[in-house]
Amino acid sequence: MTDDDLSYLDDIESLEILKIIERRKRSVHPDRANDLDCMDNVSFRSRYRLNKDTAESLIQMLDDTLSAPSEKNYALSSTEKVLIALRYYATGSFQLVLGDLEKVSQSSASRAINDVSKALASLQPNYIRLPQTGLELRQTISDASLRIRDIVACWPGSTHDSTVFDNSHLRAVLENEVPPEYHLVGDNGYACRSYLLTPFLDPSTPPRNK
C-alpha cells in the first residue's frame, strides 16, 4: 500500500468522524422547551420528582448510552429522552399525553422511555446489591403514607427481629431524639417499648381485640 493510499484512507476516516460529530450536534425541534432551562427548581421538582442538579447528573451519566448518532431530523437528545422518561416515571401519564407535552410523537416518547429504562437498568451492578449467599433479613420502616423511611438489610435471615432493631441506628434516634408522643407500630417479633407499640399476644378483652 502506497503513501497516497494511506493518506486517502486517513481522509475517509476523518470525514466519517466529522459526520458522526455533526450527527451528534443534531438540531433541537424549535417547539421543544428544555425544562431544565425554563423552570426553577421548585417547579421542576413538582413535575419530575427530582431536583435539577440530580436530573443533570443523571443525564450526564447516561449521555454516552443515549446519544447514539442518528440521521433523523430533530432526533431526541439524551437530555430530552431523560426528561421524557422522568416525567413518565413521576406522573404515570399516558404516553400520548406525555408526547403532546414534550412535542414528540407517542412512538418517540415510548422509545425514549424504553431507552432510558434500559440504560438505568444497566447501572444496576453499580448501585444495587443483591443477596449473594443465603437469606438476608430486611427491616423496613414506613410512615402512615406507606413511604419507606428506613431500611436495614445487613443481617442473616436467621437473626431475630429484636436483635436487628436493637442494633440499628433508628433505635438510638427513637430513644434520644424523637418526642414521646410519636410511636412506631411493630409486629410481635419486637419487644414493646414506650415508643414501639406491638400487638397483645393473647387479647382477652374487647378493647384489646380492637
Residue 72: predicted pLDDT: 57
Residues 108 and 149 in one domain: no
Residue 55: predicted pLDDT: 94
Grid cell at residue 204: 382477652
Cβ count within 10 A of residue 174: 20
Asked whether the predicted pLDDT for residue 71 surpasses 90, the reply is: no
d(CA 170, CA 149): 10
Q: Are strands 136-142 and 148-156 parallel, antiparallel or unpaired?
A: antiparallel
d(CA 103, CA 129): 38
Share of the chain above pLDDT 70, in %: 73
Residues 121 and 183 in one domain: no
Per residue in 141-197, pLDDT (tens digit) is 888 888 888 888 777 777 888 888 888 888 888 888 888 888 888 888 888 888 888
Diameter over CA atoms, the chain: 100
Residues 94 and 150 in one domain: no
Residue 9 belongs to some domain of the structure: no
Residue 121: predicted pLDDT: 92
Residue 26: predicted pLDDT: 43
Domain count, the chain: 2
Q: Are 203 and 190 in contact (CB under 8 A)?
A: no
Residues 113 and 147 in one domain: no
The residue out of 80, 100, 127 marking a domain boundary is: 127
Q: Average the pLDDT over each of 28-37, 77-86, 168-177 and give the range with the smallest value.
A: 28-37
| Host domain of residue 177 | 140-197
Residue 69: predicted pLDDT: 61
Residue 137: predicted pLDDT: 65
Nearest to 167 by CA among 136, 147, 129, 139: 139
Q: Are 94 and 125 in contact (CB under 8 A)?
A: no
Residue 41: predicted pLDDT: 92
Residues 116 and 166 in one domain: no
Grid cell at residue 42: 421548585
Residue 78 belongs to some domain of the structure: yes
Degrees (nearest 5) of the Cα angle 122, 90, 43? 120
Grid cell at residue 87: 416525567
* Interval 115-141 mean pLDDT: 80
Asked whether the predicted pLDDT for residue 11 surpasses 60, the reply is: no
Q: Are 116 and 62 in contact (CB under 8 A)?
A: yes
Confidence of residue 130 (pLDDT cuts 50, 70, 90): low
Residues 81 and 123 in one domain: yes
Asked whether the predicted pLDDT for residue 3 surpasses 70, the reply is: no
Residue 62: which residues within 8 A CB-CB, separation 6 or more?
78, 82, 116, 119, 120
pTM equals: 0.53
Asked whether the predicted pLDDT for residue 21 surpasses 50, the reply is: no
Q: Where are the beta strands (DSSP E) in the chain?
A: 136-142, 148-156, 184-185, 196-197
